[in-house]
Structure 1
Amino acid sequence: MTMNGSVSPVGFLGLGVMGQPMALNLARTGTPLVVWNRTAARCAPLRDLGADVAETPAEVFARARTVIVMLVDEAAIDAVLRRGTAEFPAFVAGRTLVVTSSITPEYSRALAAEVGAHGGTYVEAPVSGSRIPAEQGALVGMLAGDEAVVEALRPILQPVCRAVVYCGPVGHALLMKFAVNLFLNVMVAGLAEAAHFAGQQGLDLRQFQAVLDAGPMASGVSRLKVAKLVERDFSVQAAVSDALNSARMISETARASGTAAPLIDLTRALLAETVALGAPREDMIAVVRALEARTTAGGEGAPLQQLAEDRSG
């Protein structure tokens, strides 16, 4: 698809584990795109599908009226948007900024106020789902901001999200994601602990998988993660370091609001131990490594990997 002056493309900043498949789904369904990523090689698949690749973020803002941001954290957003410089007002004036990154509600509200002060429109748009749902266009979008603007964005987000839920004022979409991710993080840690427990008792992990997959607790997440445990496949769908960052933000938000949330604190500790063991960019199910290390340190048995190898041999 060749873009021309008669069609304003959608801008897309950030083509990482989540951003690239999201942008690819937009390109495949005919959305005109102008994309930028710090590592230029990540742009190649988008170029192959007809998207224009910008040399700088400034070029994206110069050409697009709606810009989707999927950058790794708040520091990256500030740097790419040039907050605090004369470039920032020119970037956002007359644009709709759709921020899908995992950030704090406080940061999001402050950014929204600055965008509005310079004549732009801000939409908070975190998504629920990891790399595979992103590839399948099956994310769940949680949107906050002006409801009329959110409604106008639904057709743009349709190739990316199987559902879009309006959550209210800026801040509420991120708080909704925190609530959902609290469940996700604790569930994955619980699954890892259950599999580790099964392995330590000498049970066949494939039989554990069969029972869990057939039962009432099975879900898309459990089926994917238990398969990764059985195969010892820690290739990333959602990274440990990202899960730890999510757990940190949830824990701090709970503490600031006086909300009891002991399970996310325990999960946060296990994730931090997993990062310290050298697995920050493995899949979050690698939290089992922390359980294995605790077990080994306590002299209570061999790690899950050794047990699996012993059974397969």
Structure 2
Amino acid sequence: MTVETAVGFIGLGTMGEPMALNLVGAGTPLVVWNRTRERCAPLERAGAQVASDATDLFARCGTIILMLENDAATDAVLDRHGPGFAARVAGRTIVSMSTLSAEYSSLLADDIGAAGGCYVEAPVSGSRKPAEAGQLVGMLAGDPEVCARLRPLLAPLCKEIVDCGAVPGALHMKLAVNTFLITLVTGLAEASHFAARHGLDMTRFTEILNAGPMASDVSRIKAEKLLAGDFSRQAGIADVLKNSRLVVEAARSAEIASPLMDVCLDLYGETDTMELEEDDMISVIRAIDMRTETGSR
């Protein structure tokens, strides 16, 4: 494994772990690192090499995939405001698959380019189950030649990869997709709340939704979770709250209206205060329940 061929992967959380495992399964020479060292164990068992720290990983890899929580975590891994930044990114391709602020991503692209590196946005649409199945939808933004070169690398992760032009086109696209996803799931939660509070048969309600023209993979999964009272995490509340905030902030920056997402931001903020860190986004129904109980309509 040489620097030219080795691929680095940093960030082995809910999404990152199955994505990295799919890369190893596809034969990618992968080097991984995570701030919580124990999360590297499944990758090591699968055949990935584990770097001793971030500096070691950058030294060993020519392409580095980042699947990190936010802007601050990305800056920390890159040592963006420290003395190690240029050495980490010069001559390397940095692929950010995280959902970040579009404005931040644009500035990061400039800094990496000035230091002699190449930056590509590659956020994905999908939760943990599609990540495990290699069925995510990828969005690419950056230099067209570099994006074309990355497509075979990312193919084991995605059922489809769409070019979105220059940075931050992929992140703007991801936020647009998330607007639909978040309002869809929140609408389903409110519909279920309405049905339950009217004493309807929830099995029949779910059957009608699943058989109807609005049904989708997402709605079927979330409706079944509501019916079973299964709030186990696929897309976490904190992650959805972060995404909601990014959408609203981007809307404000562009001076466009975001009425549904404004409401969703409030609801996921209320859900986040309920200490439901391990719960799925469909548990937003609990915030709606709380509003009914307290008369906060």
TM-score range, shorter chain: over 0.9
Letter in 2 for 1:207: R
2:198 matched residue in structure 1: 201
1:165 aligns with 2:162: yes
Relative to structure 1, the CA distance from residue 292 to residue 97 in structure 2 (aligned partners, 3 Å threshold; closer, same or farther) is same
2:126 matched residue in structure 1: 129
Relative to structure 1, the CA distance from residue 9 to residue 299 in structure 2 (aligned partners, 3 Å threshold; closer, same or farther) is closer
Structure 2-normalised TM-score?
Answer: 0.97
Check whether the contact 1:274–1:280 (CA below 8 A) recurs between aligned residues. Answer: no
1:178 matched residue in structure 2: 175
Matches within 5 A, 1:54-133: 54-133=51-130
Match of 1:34 among 22, 31, 35: 31
Q: CA deviation at 1:80?
A: 1.2
* Residues 180-238 of structure 1: per-residue CA shift (max 9 Å, x gap): 00000000000000001110011121111111111111100001101111111111110
- Determine which structure has more spread, i.e. the larger CA radius of gyration: 1
Report the aligned-residue RMSD: 1.3
Paired with 1:233 and 1:205, the residues of 2 have a C-alpha distance of 14
1:298 aligns with 2:295: yes
Consecutive unaligned residues in structure 1, runs of 5 or more: 301-313
Relative to structure 1, the CA distance from residue 14 to residue 299 in structure 2 (aligned partners, 3 Å threshold; closer, same or farther) is closer
Q: Secondary structure at the match of 1:158?
A: helix
Q: CA deviation at 1:280?
A: 3.8
Paired with 1:237 and 1:6, the residues of 2 have a C-alpha distance of 34
1:192 matched residue in structure 2: 189
Check whether the contact 1:241–1:281 (CA below 8 A) recurs between aligned residues. Answer: no
Q: Secondary structure at the match of 1:159?
A: helix
Match of 2:6 among 9, 21, 24: 9
Q: Secondary structure at the match of 1:25?
A: helix
* Residues 255-311 of structure 1: per-residue CA shift (max 9 Å, x gap): 2212111000011111111111222441110000001001111299xxxxxxxxxxx
2:257 matched residue in structure 1: 260
Structure 1-normalised TM-score?
Answer: 0.93
1:309 matched residue in structure 2: none
Relative to structure 1, the CA distance from residue 204 to residue 79 in structure 2 (aligned partners, 3 Å threshold; closer, same or farther) is same
Check whether the contact 2:4–2:61 (CA below 8 A) recurs between aligned residues. Answer: no
* Residues 100-134 of structure 1: per-residue CA shift (max 9 Å, x gap): 11111110011111110111000011110010110
Higher mean displacement: 90-99 or 291-300: 291-300
Q: CA deviation at 1:5?
A: 4.0
Paired with 1:34 and 1:6, the residues of 2 have a C-alpha distance of 10
Higher mean displacement: 271-280 or 160-169: 271-280
Check whether the contact 1:8–1:63 (CA below 8 A) recurs between aligned residues. Answer: no
Q: Secondary structure at the match of 2:160?
A: strand
1:284 matched residue in structure 2: 281
Letter in 2 for 1:28: G
Q: Secondary structure at the match of 2:164?
A: strand
Match of 1:248 among 245, 257, 260: 245
